[in-house]
Amino acid sequence: MEERLRRLMAAALDGNAASYRTLLAEVSERLKAYFLRRLGRDRSADTDDLVQETLMAVHSRRATWDRDRPFTPWLHAVARDKLMDHFRRNRSRQTVPIDENDVFFAEDGSGAAEARLDVGRLLDAIPQKRSDLVRRVRIEGQSIADTAAATGLSEAAVKIGVHRGVKDMSREAGVEGGDGDV
């Protein structure tokens, strides 16, 4: 396996597109298994994201693989790095308040109880299409372009959807005029 991947990668670095395609397809299968083992079945959405992130990293950093060195350890190090990034992101997602809180509480003097406002409940209370966009862009941090590609909407429609979603959530939270900047 190592020998085969190595030959494919060496050919890819020489500019052979067919070898590169075969390599990326095989690598993505291996990455999927690798991330699934570490995240568990219930996180298969994250797994797909991680596979794609790692493929992009393999692509953009392919020059750092040396033709005279084994390929698998290189790939493993890249995948492990993306996995660590993922864990780090998730931890910070749980402990760092997301910035929409500023919008919700900007005019609010009612104190700490409100500060525990459940963003998930607000997301559930607004139209599902918009909450989906807010979730992707403002909570998961996907780019406008990626979200547009994933949902089949135009980028402008995504921006408007997020903007209106946040506005809806502000209304749900009882904050007047708090639409924030999208």
Partner 1 sequence: MATSDLIDRLVTDLAPVRRGAVARRIALGIVAGVLVSTVGMMLTIGPRPDIGVAMATGAFWMKFAYTALLAAIGAAAVVAIARPEGGVRNAALAGLLVLAACALLAMLQLTGAPALERPTLIVGETAAVCPWNIVILSLPVFAGTFWALRGLAPTRLTLAGATAGLAAGAFGALVYSFHCPESTMPFLAIWYTAGVAIAGVVGGALGRWLLRW
Contact residues toward partner 1 (CB under 8 A) are: 12-15, 17, 20-21, 24-25, 28, 48, 51-52, 55-57, 59, 61-67, 69, 73-74, 76-78, 80-81, 146, 149-150
CB of 175 to partner 1, least distance (A): 34
Q: What is the DSSP letter of 111?
A: -
At 154 the three-state DSSP class reads: coil
CB of 171 to partner 1, least distance (A): 32
CB of 103 to partner 1, least distance (A): 28
Give me the helices (H) in 15-96, please.
17-39, 44-60, 72-95
Q: Tell me whether residue 52 or residue 101 sits nearer to partner 1 (CB atom).
A: 52
Q: List the one residue out of 69, 1, 70 whose CA is nearest residue 33.
A: 1
Helix, strand, coil % over all residues of the chain, rounded to 5: 75, 0, 25
Question: Quick one: CA dihedral 71, 74, 80, 82, positive or negative?
Answer: negative
CB of 161 to partner 1, least distance (A): 18
Q: Tell me whether residue 73 or residue 177 sits nearer to partner 1 (CB atom).
A: 73
Q: Tell me whether residue 27 or residue 126 sits nearer to partner 1 (CB atom).
A: 27
